[in-house]
Amino acid sequence: MPETRETALRGDCANCFGLCCVALPFARSADFAVDKPSGDPCRNLRDDFRCGIHTRLRPSGFQGCTVYDCFGAGQHVSQVTFGGVSWRAAPETARQMYEVFPAVRQLHELLRYLTEALGRRAARGLHGELGTALARVEELTALDADALEKLDVASVRGEVNPLLLRTSELVRAEAGGRPPKSRRGADLIGKRLRGARLRGADLRGALLIAADLTGADLSLTDLIGADLRDAQLAGADLTDALFLTQPQLNAARGDAATRLPDGFERPAHWVS
């Protein structure tokens, strides 16, 4: 089956050199059982770049690994930027590979949002600008390693963000009625929002860690950058939620009654 843009923006560990398991650091916490500095391979990384405890990450204390997604950056850097030659086969490329990987991940995340925006009928008036922006970001991902290492990704995000904001306004307007109060960047950690009517709300960057959103209406809600770690989504309605990602769902807690947008997988650890 030919690769589509959507599939290219999903992690494909079989074609990656375990970059998230090497390049990224993590600290001993509820999410990780051990400390690991950037550049050191995780102790669970096998010689074939697969995870030795993939099927038992959560009970082994590596919950953080189950909520991470590189948006396809791992296989792109491995197979395209570095031509299929791993950091083990060419140790001299390791440092640069580890630097380039997080930069490409950010670019792929932008591609993920732009692709979704182009699929929104409410934003059809912006499709020309969105298409141009998407093509530009795709061109950047095709740069060589030296150029990617020097790329100012923050500047690229700054160029794309206004388009995403305009898309958000158009999509959320479909909710009709008086728009909910903006909670952009709000500290809602542990808040009781059970049954809340948040349809069409702006929750960009909101801290919803361990918030109780049981039965809440989150349809047409902008969730870009929202922190949903341990948020309770049992029975919540996320139909057509905007800029939601699979890692956000993986970090939350839901159940069989949680309504998800098309194309999303119900996390295995959710209550059935």
Share of the chain above pLDDT 70, in %: 98
Do 35 and 100 lie in one domain? The reply is yes
Residues 109 and 124 in one domain: yes
Number of helical H runs and strand E runs in the chain? 8, 0
Q: Is the pLDDT assigned to residue 256 strictly greater than 50?
A: yes
* Residue range 106-121, pLDDT digits in tens: 999 999 999 999 999 9
Query: CA 93 to CA 86: how far, in whole Å?
Result: 8
65-69, 104-108, 119-123, 250-254: which has the minimum mean pLDDT?
65-69
Structural domains in the chain (count): 2
| Domain end among 171, 186, 215 | 171
CA angle (243 as vertex; 235, 4 as ends), nearest 5: 110
Residues 154 and 238 in one domain: no
The model's pLDDT over 122-175, given as tens digits with 9 standing for 90+, comes to: 999 999 999 999 999 999 999 999 999 999 999 999 999 999 999 999 999 999
What is the DSSP code (8-state) at residue 79? I
Range of the domain at 106: 5-171
Regarding whether 229 and 151 lie in a shared domain, the answer is no
Q: Which of 107, 137, 171 is the last residue of a domain?
A: 171
Query: From CA 115, how far away is CA 232, in angstroms rounded?
Result: 28
User: Does 160 lie in the same domain as 91?
Assistant: yes
164 and 94 assigned to the same domain: yes
pTM assigned to the model: 0.93
**Domain match, 33 and 154 both:** yes
Do 231 and 150 belong to one domain? no
Q: Which long-range contacts (CB under 8 A, 24 or more apart) does 40-46 make?
A: 42/18, 45/18, 45/21
Indicate whether 162 and 201 sit together in one domain.
no
Same domain, 13 and 106: yes
Look up tokens 């850097």; give the residue. 77
138's CB contacts (< 8 A; 6+ apart) are 111
Which of 112, 137, 171 delimits the end of a domain? Answer: 171
The DSSP-derived string for 186-208 is -B-TT-B-TT-B-TT-B-TT-B-
Query: Does residue 13 sit in the same domain as residue 30?
Result: yes
Kindly report the CATH number assigned to the domain that includes residue 259.
2.160.20.80
On whether both 59 and 137 belong to a single domain, the answer is yes
Residue 63: which residues within 8 A CB-CB, separation 6 or more? 30, 31, 32, 57
